[in-house]
């Protein structure tokens, strides 16, 4: 049976041709968020990409399966967002490389005070900024050991870091992780951690997980890295801590609110590095390749009535 597949990601012509050649009986609609029309959405039996949830719903009688281009799916899983019989899969496993490299590179930037040297360059100032740190020998705590956490552990471990992983099950072993501890008791270990990297999902239980009390338990010269969701960190408490403890630093790829408004005091702090939620985007071409390969595999599974990878909701 042929499918009408609405692809919302900006693919190269070569990728589009590869898909149409592999699935010649299917009708591919290659669109972007700006060019997609209501008619495109209504006729689609399959959607690849993240349409705004308000454009979905029970009115889409033809829709059988949605392949998200994100690992997060919390906006699409509530009852009523998708038609009752529609399957939902996420893109877990496609962003590990790009998020891990972003995390490693920004952490090294802060450790070597390159953020300060860049500010000096802009000011035309030749000035040494004192002692720096090394990834080698540092104790790195990773909160959450899913695909992102494991990819980050691999890169930091390769450069000589000791990895302490925090996971829901402290009896499970992970490659590149020296010690696995229960995520429920991670605060007990904070005093020993040089770099704390957040890779946990957006859940009610994780709202403002990093608050004033936990920040005070960390080393005074530690680095906090948020690659999770902005809601995991109490940003006001973090700003207070950064102002009171200049030796402490933070790296945020996500914020609450997001985008971070003009005039927010976080922009003016010298011991924080902010990027606009780009660590896990499609800016790295390899990430698009990983995503298309996942979607391609799942389309084969879908057409042959096999289980879908990364299933979140199984359609009826």
User: Of these residues, 31, 92, 155, 229, which one is catalytic?
Assistant: 229
CB 242 within 8 A of CB 272: yes
Strands 195-198 and 223-226: parallel
CB 232 within 8 A of CB 211: no
Rounded Cα–Cα distance for residues 177 and 293 (Å): 28
H or E, element range at 138: none
Number of residues in the chain: 316
Neighbours of 203 (CB within 10 A): 12
Radius of gyration of the chain (CA): 22
Rounded Cα–Cα distance for residues 153 and 175 (Å): 8
Of the candidates 146, 16, 1, the one whose C-alpha atom is nearest the C-alpha of residue 65 is 1
Examine residue 259 and say whether the peptide bond preceding it is cis (omega within 30 degrees of 0): yes
Of the candidates 206, 199, 100, the one whose C-alpha atom is nearest the C-alpha of residue 153 is 100
CB 104 within 8 A of CB 163: no
258 is a catalytic site residue:
yes
> Tokens for 282?
């499609």
Q: What are phi and psi of 265, to 5 degrees?
A: -65, -20
229 is a catalytic site residue:
yes
CB 82 within 8 A of CB 76: yes
User: Of these residues, 277, 296, 306, 314, which one is catalytic?
Assistant: 277
Q: State the angle between helix axes of 285-303 and 13-22 in degrees (0 to 180), rounded to the nearest 10.
A: 10
Place of tokens 């530690």: 222
236 is a catalytic site residue:
no
User: Of these residues, 208, 258, 264, 296, which one is catalytic?
Assistant: 258
Which active-site residues does the annotation give? 229, 258, 277
């Amino acid at each position: 049976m042929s499918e009408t597949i609405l692809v919302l990601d900006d693919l190269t012509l070569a990728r589009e041709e590869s898909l149409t050649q592999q699935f010649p009986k299917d009708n591919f609609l290659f669109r972007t968020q700006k060019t997609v029309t209501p008619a495109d959405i209504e006729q689609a039996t399959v959607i690849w990409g993240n349409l705004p949830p308000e454009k979905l719903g029970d009115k889409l009688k033809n829709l059988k399966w949605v392949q998200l281009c994100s690992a997060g799916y919390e906006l699409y899983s509530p009852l009523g967002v998708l038609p009752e019989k529609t399957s939902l899969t996420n893109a877990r496993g496609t962003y590990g490389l790009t998020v891990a490299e972003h995390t490693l590179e920004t952490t090294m930037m802060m450790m070597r005070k390159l953020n300060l040297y860049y500010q000096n360059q802009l000011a035309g100032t030749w000035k040494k900024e004192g002692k720096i740190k090394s990834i080698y020998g540092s104790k790195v705590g990773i909160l959450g050991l899913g695909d992102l956490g494991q990819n980050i552990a691999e890169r930091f471990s390769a450069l000589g870091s000791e990895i302490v992983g925090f996971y829901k099950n402290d009896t499970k072993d992970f490659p590149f992780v020296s010690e696995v501890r229960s995520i429920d008791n991670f605060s007990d270990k904070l005093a020993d951690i040089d770099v704390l990297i957040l890779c946990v999902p957006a859940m009610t239980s994780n709202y403002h997980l990093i608050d004033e009390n936990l920040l005070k338990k960390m080393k005074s010269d530690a680095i906090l890295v948020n690659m999770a969701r902005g809601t995991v960190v109490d940003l006001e408490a973090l700003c207070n801590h950064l102002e009171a403890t200049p030796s402490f630093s933070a790296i945020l790829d996500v914020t609450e609110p997001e985008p971070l408004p003009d005039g927010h005091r976080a922009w003016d702090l010298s011991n924080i590095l902010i990027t606009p939620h780009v660590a896990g985007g499609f800016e790295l071409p390899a990430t698009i390749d990983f995503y298309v390969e996942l979607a391609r595999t799942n389309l084969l599974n879908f057409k042959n009535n096999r289980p879908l990878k990364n299933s979140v909701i199984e359609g009826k």
